[in-house]
Amino acid sequence: MFGLMQDHPLNISSLLIHVEKYHGDTEIVSKCLDSSIHRTNWKTIASRARQVANGLNRWDLASGTRIATLAWNSYRHLELFYGISCSGRVLHTINPRLHPDQISWMANHAEDVIFYFDITFYSTVQKMYDTTPHIRHYIALCTEEELMQLDDIANYPKLLAYETWINAQSSQLEWPVLDENSASSLCYTSGTTGNPKGVLYNHRSTILHAFTAALPDAIGLSATDTVLPVVPMFHVNAWGIPYAAAMVGAKLVFHGQFSDSQSLYHLLESEKVTVAGAVPTVWMSLLSYLQTQNLKFSTLNRTIIGGSACPPVMIQTFLEKFGVSVLHAWGMTEMSPIGTVAGLRNNHRNLSNDEIVKIRTKQGRVVFGVDIKIIDDDGNLLPSDGKSSGHVLVKGPWIIQNYFKSTENILDDGWFDTGDIACMDEEGYLIITDRSKDVIKSGGEWISSIDIENLALSHPEVAMAACIAYKDPKWDERPCLIVVPKPSTQPSSQSIKDHFVDKVAKWQIPDFIVFKDALPLGATGKILKTQLRKEVLTENGLIKPDLLEGQL
Ligand code: ADP
């Protein structure tokens, strides 16, 4: 017997219809390329999203057609998010920090037909123009006058100005009712091993994920919030924030291309932001800026931090110096991305700050909708005892089933192997030890590079730290710590090693400390260990001798 409730497929357009009708006047604020502030609201975003859809309809693009964006976080990008997906096409967000050849590879692999771009990326468009035959139009996110000011446009006849194009479209449109399993957006993984792989989300997964993202123990979004997703819209759809914000009617603030600490701080303050989300490296710089300038946050009360492990010292500084709660979250592109968030439990209500920091340093409790199991190398289920580490497998309605255009079966009895190594404690908190390719295997024991990095970051003179394995004839692998000292400090390798004594087992203390002025960051702001290994290790996996002055 079926229930007798109405059958409405979960479509992304429902978010837009809701937010326009009930929160239409809530602001969307963007910092433009010329640093000016642009203000609009959800009503206008919804109206312009319909214009986008009408423009695409006029070109008669079939549903499922891939439409690319190479753009900063902005109101125009938001219009495209909704206009493209709600009209039945697939939004393909591309990371502009990739090499033009990689971008061109992705656009060809996805068979993108229309390509929207911020004019800062015009040189990329020029480079890829002749190698992307599927693309019919390159639409610059600017006015006609701004387009005219670009160099050499006569040689690129497929160029159009967004404002001219959108203004020629009607804002009248009934959103089509789509099968909720229809593809809505496409995001490629970073491709640190081999070519990038496409993760194809659908309307259903996006809506269900938005519900979860908004829940109190996840980002806890409400109509009273002002949200600044520093995480780029090309990084797993800004972690789903543009959808969750529409679901609850929150105000959104976009920082455009300005991610330096001073600009971010100014925007957080001037727009009275209550919640922001970014990878740890962004917060690292922002916190150090605040501390050197002796500044405070006046409205920010929580930050969602994920993408890589958030060091406890950051969680503690946010909490004790700035009164800001850190919501440490774990997930990945293949998981839309949220899998766990480190919220507290009922029995944690009277804990001290130190105890809270310990809990929030874990990657968190699994959210409803996702299931996790941890298994050993032979596939045996490991107990939730806080110490048995193994491979993390996940399943759920917003977890990948297969990569775009791939026929390879990537699931193991319905479970997706995340490639992460973790344990789960008795209270159900996931604790990520490492990515399987980053874990250091020393004499048959595993050393967590995340643990070593977190400890190193609590040394008063360490600004950034990354731990990698080098080859050792006796132990197979041993840890080497690469450190960027804080400005005007010169920590010695001994003082850093001493810092580990009594905090970890002796054999886990890094043998060598390599000092560097900066660490290579990947396209999404994470430390790029593949690149770091090339910088620090020889082809045989040994530490380059010239980096070890005085330590051999
Ligand atoms: P990539 O880093 O390859 O671009 P993702 O952004 O999808 O791709 O990254 C997902 C990976 O980032 C996870 O598999 C995990 O290794 C790491 N990660 C994400 N969040 C955390 C976290 N809170 N703590 C530790 N690692 C994390």
Q: DSSP letters of 325-375?
A: EEEEEEE-GGGSSEEEE----GGGTT--HHHHHHHHHS-EEEPTT-EEEEE
Quickly count: other Cβ atoms within 10 Å of residue 170's Cβ.
12
Catalytic one among 192, 446, 461, 486? 446
CB distance 333 to ligand 1 below 6 Å: yes
For atom 9 of ligand 1, the residue with the nearest CA is 332
- Residue 191 is predicted with a pLDDT of 59
- Ligand 1 atom closest to residue 332's alpha carbon, by position in its atom list: 7
In tens, the pLDDT along 257-283 reads 999 999 999 999 999 999 999 999 999
pTM score: 0.92
CB distance 306 to ligand 1 below 6 Å: yes
Q: How far apart are CA 325 and CA 302, in angstroms?
A: 5
- Residue 551 is predicted with a pLDDT of 65
Any catalytic annotation for residue 503? no
Site to substitute for ligand 1 among 305, 332, 359, 430, most atoms within 8 A of C-beta: 332
Distance 309 CA to ligand 1 centre (A): 8
CB distance 449 to ligand 1 below 6 Å: no
Question: Distance between alpha carbon 96 and the CA centroid of its chain, in Å?
Answer: 14
SS3 content of the chain, % helix, strand, coil (to 5): 35, 25, 40
CB 57 within 8 A of CB 71: no
Distance 307 CA to ligand 1 centre (A): 4
Any catalytic annotation for residue 189? yes
- Residue 394 is predicted with a pLDDT of 98
- Residue 195 is predicted with a pLDDT of 75
Any catalytic annotation for residue 446? yes
* Whether the predicted pLDDT of 22 surpasses 90: yes
Give the CA angle between residues 351, 215, 12 to the nearest 5°.
Answer: 160
CB distance 69 to ligand 1 below 6 Å: no
Q: Residues with Cβ < 8 Å from 157, sequence gap 6 or more?
A: none
- Residue 215 is predicted with a pLDDT of 97
- Residue 444 is predicted with a pLDDT of 81
Q: Write the CATH number of the domain with boundaries 371-435.
A: 2.30.38.10
DSSP-derived 3-state class of residue 460: coil
* Whether the predicted pLDDT of 234 surpasses 70: yes
Q: What is the DSSP letter of 10?
A: -
* Whether the predicted pLDDT of 204 surpasses 90: yes
CB distance 448 to ligand 1 below 6 Å: no
Assigned token pair, 123: 């040189």
For atom 27 of ligand 1, the residue with the nearest CA is 308
In tens, the pLDDT along 446-484 reads 899 999 999 999 999 999 999 999 999 889 999 999 999
What are the C-alpha distances in Å from 117 to residues 51, 212, 295, 417? 17, 30, 35, 34
Q: How far apart are CA 493 and CA 472, in angstroms?
A: 20
Percent of the chain with pLDDT strictly greater than 90? 91
* Whether the predicted pLDDT of 136 surpasses 60: yes
Question: What is the rounded average pLDDT for all residues in the chain?
Answer: 95
- Domain spanning 13-24+40-211: which CATH class is it, in words? alpha beta
* Whether the predicted pLDDT of 382 surpasses 60: yes
Assigned token pair, 473: 């004839």
CATH 2.30.38.10-classified regions of the chain: 371-435
**Whose CA is closest to 208, among 313, 335, 112?**
335
CB distance 97 to ligand 1 below 6 Å: no
For every residue of 78-92, DSSP letters joined together read: HHHHHHHHHTT-EEE
CB 370 within 8 A of CB 415: no
Average pLDDT on 133-140 reads 97
In tens, the pLDDT along 313-351 reads 999 999 999 999 999 999 999 999 999 999 999 999 999
Percent of the chain with pLDDT strictly greater than 70? 99
- Residue 552 is predicted with a pLDDT of 57
* Whether the predicted pLDDT of 193 surpasses 60: no
Q: How far apart are CA 423 and CA 359, in angstroms?
A: 14
Q: How far apart are CA 75 and CA 27, in angstroms?
A: 10
Question: Per residue in 473-489, is it b (16+ CB within 10 Å) or e — as a string?
Answer: eebebbbbbbbebeeee
**Helices (runs of H) and strands (runs of E) counted in the chain:** 17, 26
- Residue 550 is predicted with a pLDDT of 62
CB distance 526 to ligand 1 below 6 Å: yes
Average pLDDT on 301-322 reads 96
Residue 196: burial class (beta carbons within 10 Å; 0-12, 13-18, 19+): buried
Confidence of residue 192 (pLDDT cuts 50, 70, 90): low
Distance 179 CA to ligand 1 centre (A): 31
- Residue 164 is predicted with a pLDDT of 98
**Whose CA is closest to 276, among 246, 245, 248, 249?**
245
For atom 24 of ligand 1, the residue with the nearest CA is 309
CB distance 363 to ligand 1 below 6 Å: yes
CB 501 within 8 A of CB 509: yes
CB distance 141 to ligand 1 below 6 Å: no
Site to substitute for ligand 1 among 359, 394, 420, 521, most atoms within 8 A of C-beta: 420
Average pLDDT on 504-531 reads 91
CB distance 433 to ligand 1 below 6 Å: no
Distance 175 CA to ligand 1 centre (A): 35
Q: How far apart are CA 277 and CA 259, in angstroms?
A: 12
In one letter, which amino acid is 547?
A: L
* Whether the predicted pLDDT of 171 surpasses 80: yes
- Residue 7 is predicted with a pLDDT of 95
CB distance 418 to ligand 1 below 6 Å: yes
Any catalytic annotation for residue 303? no
Distance 479 CA to ligand 1 centre (A): 21
Assigned token pair, 403: 């990569």
CATH 3.30.300.30-classified regions of the chain: 440-547
Measured between alpha carbons, how far apart are the two ends of the chain, in Å?
75
Superfamily of domain 440-547: ANL, C-terminal domain (3.30.300.30)
CATH 3.40.50.12780-classified regions of the chain: 13-24+40-211
Confidence of residue 134 (pLDDT cuts 50, 70, 90): very high
Average pLDDT on 28-40 reads 98
Average pLDDT on 30-49 reads 98
Question: Distance between alpha carbon 300 and the CA centroid of its chain, in Å?
Answer: 20
Cis peptide bond N-terminal to 337, omega within 30: yes
Catalytic one among 334, 398, 418, 526? 334
CB distance 203 to ligand 1 below 6 Å: no
Q: Residues with Cβ < 8 Å from 400, sequence gap 6 or more?
A: 199, 334, 335, 410, 416
* Whether the predicted pLDDT of 227 surpasses 90: yes
Catalytic one among 65, 93, 124, 189? 189
Question: Distance between alpha carbon 383 and the CA centroid of its chain, in Å?
Answer: 30
* Tokens 């592109």 found at: 333
Average pLDDT on 372-396 reads 97
More confident residue, 208 or 195: 208
Residue 34: burial class (beta carbons within 10 Å; 0-12, 13-18, 19+): exposed
- Residue 445 is predicted with a pLDDT of 85
- Ligand 1 atom closest to residue 305's alpha carbon, by position in its atom list: 23
Quickly count: other Cβ atoms within 10 Å of residue 84's Cβ.
29
CA dihedral 496, 499, 505, 508 (to 10 degrees): -20
* Whether the predicted pLDDT of 542 surpasses 80: yes
- Ligand 1 atom closest to residue 524's alpha carbon, by position in its atom list: 4
- Residue 346 is predicted with a pLDDT of 95
- Ligand 1 atom closest to residue 434's alpha carbon, by position in its atom list: 16
CB distance 332 to ligand 1 below 6 Å: yes
- Residue 200 is predicted with a pLDDT of 98
